[in-house]
């Protein structure tokens, strides 16, 4: 994934998570909601946003990679 120069707000990231809810594993979705209730750096917000962006259109292999990255972040 390429780096984006747009900074995404916490609200943007929560909205993107909600948009992708039907495509994501339930456990990952729940972890994401808890994670996004914390005070997070701009870098982290941007990273999570881009992991979620077009998640529903990603291949199964790409989703697995994104899931793994999100799981590591959400711990």
- pLDDT, tens only, 8-51: 999 999 999 999 999 999 999 999 999 999 999 999 999 999 99
Question: In 3D, which of 38, 29, 37 has the Cα closest to residue 51?
Answer: 29
Alpha-carbon torsion angle 8, 12, 13, 17, nearest 10: -150
Q: What is d(CA 65, CA 41) in angstroms, rounded to the nearest whole number?
A: 22
Q: What is d(CA 20, CA 54) in angstroms, rounded to the nearest whole number?
A: 8
Task: Give the per-residue pLDDT at 5.
Answer: 75
Name the pLDDT band for 1 (thresholds 50, 70, 90).
very low
Task: Give the per-residue pLDDT at 4.
Answer: 66
Q: What is d(CA 37, CA 40) in angstroms, rounded to the nearest whole number?
A: 9
């Amino acid at each position: 994934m390429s780096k984006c120069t747009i900074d995404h707000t916490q609200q943007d990231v929560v909205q993107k998570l909600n948009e992708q809810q039907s495509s994501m594993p339930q456990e990952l979705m729940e972890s994401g909601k808890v994670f996004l209730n914390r005070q997070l750096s701009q870098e982290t917000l941007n990273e999570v946003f881009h992991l979620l962006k077009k998640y529903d259109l990603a291949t199964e292999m790409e989703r697995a990679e994104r899931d793994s990255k999100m799981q590591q972040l959400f711990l």
